[in-house]
């Protein structure tokens, strides 16, 4: 038996390849399926099953393209309703994978169809459980994502999750390996651990949600403090449920190389989003006016899904050679209307003597020197509220990055202000600067190094914390 985790760090997603005696199965594949096909070819195996733990909200799954490429059956757990052909498994149904087997464990709570897959080795011993978004390392799946579509409350789903954990997962042997669908950084839970796998025994000892507690206390624990989910979550869940365009088609459309003249014509015709995927530090030095910066070096797909509209066409400006990567990573979160890219990238724009734009970078010490002498200064902190609360410049205005897409946020600014923007390290502040610039507000400065650099000069800044209410006491 062979098991391999295929982890994609930029969206904190884990897919799995399982094989026994030449028969393979894939669990929770990404939309770009080449890695699974290559692994099966390398190992001379046939992919027979594609197991989905639930309708994912944070990425578009590769189940349809992988099934088309291999003829494999797509398997979901009980209560699944789709617009394409799948095998809806029964609770405890067993699927043979060569000489090994997978048992379906219906575990509603994160969503109603959520299911875990228990892998038994050739001797019939429980080896690992693929828990999807039901159980993470150090956390459990949030129960608030499926409630609107199913007319069910978050608390009711949390109660189901409690039952699923106690009846299906916790009775397993301590040495059973836990393979979740996500790791740290995912918005599918509150605070996932840094490890990408664990064991049942370790999770019983360390996971707050698996500690002895009543169902009522569990419901409070898992529902308290949930941040609003990213805007693209319901869009991705719908795509996974209803189907999508072939990734090959999306890539072919996006790979259309456009001359500067053709690029400008597309802008005039379609009024698209101009998305620049170059490194944030490069973007500030010069860019096509009106561009939004989301650099490939960060959590690119996640920020694209959280910020960009899904009903507009997208034109790309990329570092030459990264066009396909940009398109594939956008497609992972459901963007399909990518109509081309600027041939030659930003340099082609400059070489054609077109007018560029730029963002002024300032160091943290320059910000410190300007604060006492600039009555028109506005410091904008675009980190998450939880980050801001742990420490911030006293004078700073907090506007989390994903709120800058709301026109009301722009109403805070006027042309007489000198706007200094920072995040934690400098990536999000460039995104924010590009969004603000796009609204016609140009008197802005990006603080290089963000709050990390500011903290290192704490003697020059008045830094304070937000006093928070104590966490509710959970009885054991």
Where do the domains of the chain lie, and which CATH numbers do they carry?
A: 2-233 (3.60.15.10), 245-351 (3.40.250.10), 363-425+436-464 (3.40.250.10)
pLDDT in tens, 338-394: 999 999 999 999 999 999 999 999 999 999 999 999 999 999 999 999 899 999 999
pLDDT in tens, 47-63: 999 999 999 999 999 99
Burial of 125 (0-12, 13-18, 19+ CB in 10 A): exposed
Q: What confidence tier does 472 reach under pLDDT thresholds 50, 70, 90?
A: very low
- Could you tell me the pTM of the whole model? 0.93
What's the pLDDT at 7?
97
CB atoms within 10 A of CB 158: 25
What's the pLDDT at 146?
78
- How many angstroms separate the CA atoms of 287 and 127, rounded? 52
pLDDT in tens, 275-333: 999 999 999 999 999 999 999 999 999 999 999 999 999 999 999 999 999 999 999 99
pLDDT at 468 over 70: no
Helices (H), ranges, 271-363: 280-283, 300-307, 323-331, 345-351
pLDDT in tens, 218-272: 999 999 988 888 999 999 999 999 999 999 999 999 999 999 999 999 999 999 9
119 closest CA partner among 220, 16, 7: 16
Q: Is 148 helix (H, G, I), strand (E, B) or coil?
A: helix
pLDDT at 474 over 70: no
Q: Could you write out the DSSP letters of every residue in 172-215?
A: S-TTPEEEESB-TT-TTSSS--S-S-EEHHHHHHH-GGGSS--H
pLDDT in tens, 395-432: 899 999 999 887 777 767 887 899 999 999 999 999 99
In the block, tokens 């009846």 appear at 167
What's the pLDDT at 466?
79
What's the pLDDT at 150?
64
pLDDT at 107 over 60: yes
The answer to whether 51 touches 130, Cβ cutoff 8 Å, is: yes
pLDDT at 471 over 60: no
pLDDT at 103 over 90: yes
pLDDT in tens, 170-216: 999 999 999 999 999 999 988 899 999 999 999 999 999 999 999 99
29 CB contacts (<8 Å, ≥6 apart)?
15, 36, 50, 61, 62, 63, 66
Phi-psi region of 21 (alpha: psi -120 to 50; beta: other; left: phi over 0): left
Q: What confidence tier does 476 reach under pLDDT thresholds 50, 70, 90?
A: very low
């Amino acid at each position: 038996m062979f098991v391999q985790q295929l982890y994609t760090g930029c969206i904190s997603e884990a897919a799995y390849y399982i094989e026994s005696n030449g028969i393979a199965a894939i669990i929770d594949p990404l939309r770009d399926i080449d890695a699974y096909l290559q692994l099966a070819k390398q190992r001379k195996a046939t992919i027979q099953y594609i197991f989905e733990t639930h309708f994912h909200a944070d990425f578009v799954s590769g189940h349809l393209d992988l099934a088309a490429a291999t003829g494999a059956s797509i398997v979901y757990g009980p209560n699944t309703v789709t617009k394409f052909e799948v095998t809806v498994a029964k609770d405890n149904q067993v699927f043979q994978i060569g000489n090994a087997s997978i048992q379906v464990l219906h575990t509603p709570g994160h969503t109603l169809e959520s299911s875990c897959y228990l892998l038994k080795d050739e001797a019939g011993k429980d080896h690992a459980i693929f828990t999807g978004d039901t159980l993470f390392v150090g956390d459990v799946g949030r129960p608030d994502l499926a409630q609107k579509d199913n007319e069910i409350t978050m608390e009711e789903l949390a109660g189901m999750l409690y039952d699923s954990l106690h009846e299906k997962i916790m009775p397993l042997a301590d040495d059973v390996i836990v393979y979740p669908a996500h790791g740290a950084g995912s918005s599918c839970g509150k605070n996932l651990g840094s490890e990408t796998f664990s064991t049942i025994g370790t999770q019983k000892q360390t996971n707050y949600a698996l500690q002895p507690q009543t169902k009522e206390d569990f419901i409070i624990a898992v529902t308290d403090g949930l941040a609003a989910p990213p805007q693209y979550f319901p869009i991705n869940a719908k795509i996974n449920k209803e189907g999508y365009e072939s990734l090959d088609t999306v890539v072919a459309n996006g790979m259309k190389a456009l001359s500067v003249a053709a690029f400008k014509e597309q802008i005039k015709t379609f009024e698209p989003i101009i998305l620049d995927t170059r490194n944030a530090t490069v973007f500030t030095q010069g860019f096509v006016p009106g561009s939004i910066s989301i650099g490939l070096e960060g959590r690119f797909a996640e920020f694209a899904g959280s910020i960009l509209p899904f009903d507009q066409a997208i034109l790309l400006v990329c570092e030459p050679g990264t066009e396909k990567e940009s398109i594939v990573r956008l497609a992972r979160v459901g963007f399909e209307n990518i109509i081309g890219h600027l041939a030659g990238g930003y340099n082609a724009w400059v070489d054609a003597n077109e007018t560029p734009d730029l963002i002024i970078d300032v160091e943290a010490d320059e910000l410190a020197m300007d604060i006492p002498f600039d009555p028109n200064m506005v410091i904008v902190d675009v980190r998450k509220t939880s980050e801001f609360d742990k420490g911030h410049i006293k004078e700073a205005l907090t506007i989390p990055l994903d709120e800058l897409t709301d026109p009301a946020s722009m109403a805070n600014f006027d042309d007489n202000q000198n706007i200094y923007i920072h995040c934690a390290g400098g990536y999000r502040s460039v995104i924010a600067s590009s969004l603000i610039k796009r609204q016609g507000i140009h008197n802005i400065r990006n603080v290089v190094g963000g709050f990390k650099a500011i903290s290192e000069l704490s003697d020059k800044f008045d830094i304070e914390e937000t006093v928070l209410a104590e966490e509710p006491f959970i009885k054991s």
